[in-house]
Amino acid sequence: MIKDERVLELIEIIKKKKRIAVKELAEITFSSTSTLRRDLIFLENQGLIKRKHGYVTLSSMNTIELSHQIREGESTRQKRLIASLAKDFIRSGMCIYLDSSTTVYELCPYLSELDNLIIFTNGLHTAQTLSETVNPNYSPLI
């Protein structure tokens, strides 16, 4: 099983159990202790879980943030490729709508190169990233 799949499986198990022993996680996932430890450290560094004295819990972040962070880590190469192709359809002065998907989120760096864009979005992460850009010539509207 590849890392992305293992990490998603771990998150789902931890969500269901609320609190689970690391030994139990190893048994459920059939993972070696070293692989499981690396995956749990990765999830903890992402702020998704907390590890304490042999057990694991989800961090207190809300479900929307958790969902976005998990999806953001999936298929990143493909999402960037799609975004780089999609940018060619957007021109300066256009009015565009960006949904809250993590694929559309990958468009943000390309949009800073264009002037006078009006951008509507329902994506909080997208709006935040757009508002932090160095190009003041467009306005994200939520």
- Could you list the pLDDT tens digit for every one of the 142 residues in the chain? 788 788 888 988 998 888 999 999 999 999 898 999 999 998 888 888 899 988 999 876 555 555 666 666 666 788 889 999 999 999 988 999 998 888 888 998 888 888 888 889 888 888 888 887 756 655 556 6
Q: Which H or E element spans position 52?
A: strand 49-52
- Report domain 3-70's class: mainly alpha
Q: Which residues contact 141 (CB under 8 A, 6 or more apart)?
A: 118, 119, 120, 121
For residues 131 and 17, what is the distance between their CA atoms, to the nearest angstrom?
38
> How is residue 88 annotated by DSSP?
G
Strands 139-141 and 118-121: parallel
Sequence spans of domains, the chain: 3-70, 89-141
pTM, two decimal places:
0.50
- pLDDT value for 128: 83
